């Protein structure tokens, strides 16, 4: 891990401003990078770039490697002559505050197909990025288009996709990653590092389960034998039944290890740092029998542990890793996280026990950790102040010296930036002191309220960047 104190902002690409219903990799993203540079921030943490799955979740993806086509910038396609002014106008949405996933699902792919048809007649002049995983994904996505159903419902004698069917998805991924690499280069030149987020699990309806079933715990008929989840924890007292396929760490260890090395090797190409979601599953993971009604029916199984981490670090010694180690960890899992050499997370919305100590309080945060005001899965800090336990929220107000006249967000950011952790991160919602309407995700639920929040361009103003720069300088980040 780096040796200096630093800070940054968590903001999903989907949450960026722009006229086309969802954030993109084009000018709005570069303007946000400019805002970060002006505010003295050196990290932009994003949510997974992969295509979303059920409920628009990027943590239930049909691919470990592909990019979300909704993030492709339409203005850049128009600048290449691939979209018309009329087509751009058809993509405009009036609501700047929420992503309308239903509208995107109904209209965006047809728009991108129009761009693809024109691209066939006007081959790109620039070299396309090398995407070693593309052929498997293009075949999977093409068959999904053909049958409009999960792959287990495809005909047993389904003919392979044609080159024409696959070409559309090749175009989407090459355009996505051309734009992504341009954006990353722009950010790095402004001294902004990109922190990606790698979902631990994949969707059961994914390229990898379809093409590489040996990686997963499946029964003799190829159906899921056991699925992922977590027992009751700080996020929900009922536990969470995610339903993702589990890796076959015991039966096909070398193949699963090779997949993870491939996956993190790809991350090393597209990010400067990576947060590994649900990191504790490397030590022990919650296994729930497929078909169970509740996550409470699960039990703990042993994960790959340090053996996999040692191989990862040998293969990618320069990749900066962050461990998402939240939830209730038993003594052995906690020891693993603390001794694995990868910094864990300290989240302020969980810090304020009014009568006891907490490892998440800023004065207790050790140097090799990352302190967060909140995450995509927590309430915003202001929401927590309004809805949380009164004794805890009053303690937080005293501890952070929060002032209504100054704006609650600045006290929260100051508390995190003052912590001993070498890296401090705040979701953009907490910088802006936004409440419940700006929450990104509520674990264990599905609906339009999840994954939909967007920030307005007006928020990236000189007052906000100047105040953030002042706090950053004050706490020597």
Outline where DSSP puts E strands in 37-108. Answer: 43-45
Q: What token pair was written down for 34?
A: 């400019």
User: What is the spatial distance between Cα 43 and Cα 356, in angstroms, rounded to a whole number?
Assistant: 32
Closest by Cα among 341, 347, 392, 340 to 365: 347
Coil, helix or strand for 244? strand
Those residues whose C-beta lies under 8 Å from the C-beta of residue 443, and which sit 6 or more positions away, are: 235, 236, 240, 377
Please give the structure tokens belonging to residue 95.
Answer: 């609501």
Catalytic residue positions, numbered:
277, 324, 377
191: left (phi over 0), alpha (psi -120 to 50) or beta: left
Cα(477)–Cα(467) distance, integer angstroms? 14
The three state secondary structure string of 163-232 is HHHHHHHHHHHHHHHHHHHHHHHHHHHCCCEEEEEECCCCCCCCHHHHHCHHHECECCCCCECEEEEECC
Are 53 and 100 in contact by the 8 Å Cβ rule? The answer is: no
Triad 277, 278, 279: Cα angle to 5°: 90
Query: What distance, in Å, lies between the first and last C-alpha atoms of the chain?
Result: 15
Spatial neighbors of 298 by CB under 8 A, at least 6 apart, are 229, 231, 239, 286, 287, 288, 289, 292
CB atoms within 10 A of CB 209: 23
Give the three-state DSSP class for 453.
strand
Residue 316 burial (CB count, 10 A): 16
Query: In sequence order, what are the beta bridge partners of 426?
Result: 9
């Amino acid at each position: 891990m780096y040796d200096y104190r630093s800070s940054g902002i968590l903001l999903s690409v989907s949450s960026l401003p722009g006229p086309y219903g969802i954030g993109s990799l084009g000018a709005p993203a570069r303007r946000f990078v400019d805002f970060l540079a002006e505010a003295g921030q050196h990290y932009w943490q994003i949510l997974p770039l992969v295509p979303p799955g059920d409920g628009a979740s990027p943590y239930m993806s049909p691919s470990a490697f592909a990019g979300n086509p909704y993030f492709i910038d339409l203005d850049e396609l128009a600048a290449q002559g691939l979209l018309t002014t009329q087509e751009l106008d058809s993509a405009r949405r009036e609501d700047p505050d929420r992503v309308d996933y239903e509208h995107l699902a109904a209209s965006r792919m047809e728009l991108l197909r129009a761009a693809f048809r024109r691209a066939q007649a006007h081959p790109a002049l620039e070299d396309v990025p090398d995407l070693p995983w593309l052929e498997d994904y293009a075949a999977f996505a093409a068959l999904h288009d053909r049958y409009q159903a999960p792959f287990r419902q495809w005909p047993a004698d389904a003919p392979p996709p044609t080159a024409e069917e696959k070409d559309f998805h090749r175009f989407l991924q090459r355009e996505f990653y051309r734009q992504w690499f341009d954006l990353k280069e722009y950010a790095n030149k402004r001294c902004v590092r990109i922190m990606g987020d790698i979902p631990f699990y994949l969707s059961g309806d994914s390229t990898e389960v379809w093409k590489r079933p040996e990686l997963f715990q499946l029964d003799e008929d190829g159906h899921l034998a056991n699925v992922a989840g977590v027992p009751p924890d700080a996020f929900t007292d009922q536990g969470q039944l995610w339903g993702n396929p589990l890796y076959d760490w015991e039966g096909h260890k070398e193949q699963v290890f090779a997949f993870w090395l491939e996956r993190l090797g790809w991350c090393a190409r597209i990010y400067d740092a990576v947060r590994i979601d649900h990191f504790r599953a490397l030590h022990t993971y919650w296994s729930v029998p497929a078909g169970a009604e509740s996550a409470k029916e699960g039990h703990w199984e042993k994960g790959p542990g340090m053996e996999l981490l040692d191989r990862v670090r040998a293969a990618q010694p320069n990749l900066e890793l962050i461990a998402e180690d939240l939830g209730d960890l038993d003594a052995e899992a906690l020891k693993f996280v603390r001794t694995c050499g990868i910094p864990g997370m300290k989240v302020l919305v969980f810090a304020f026990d009014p009568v006891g100590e907490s490892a998440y309080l800023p004065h207790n945060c050790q140097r090799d950790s990352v302190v967060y005001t909140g995450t995509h899965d927590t309430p915003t800090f202001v929401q927590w102040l309004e809805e949380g336990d009164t004794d805890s929220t009053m303690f937080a107000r005293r501890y952070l010296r929060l002032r209504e006249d100054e704006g609650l967000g600045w006290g929260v950011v100051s508390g995190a930036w003052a912590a001993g952790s070498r890296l401090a991160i705040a979701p953009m919602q907490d910088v802006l002191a936004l409440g419940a309407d700006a929450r990104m995700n509520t674990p264990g639920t599905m609906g339009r309220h999840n994954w939909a929040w967007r920030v307005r361009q007006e928020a990236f103003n000189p007052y906000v960047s100047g105040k953030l720069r002042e706090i950053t300088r004050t706490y020597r980040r």
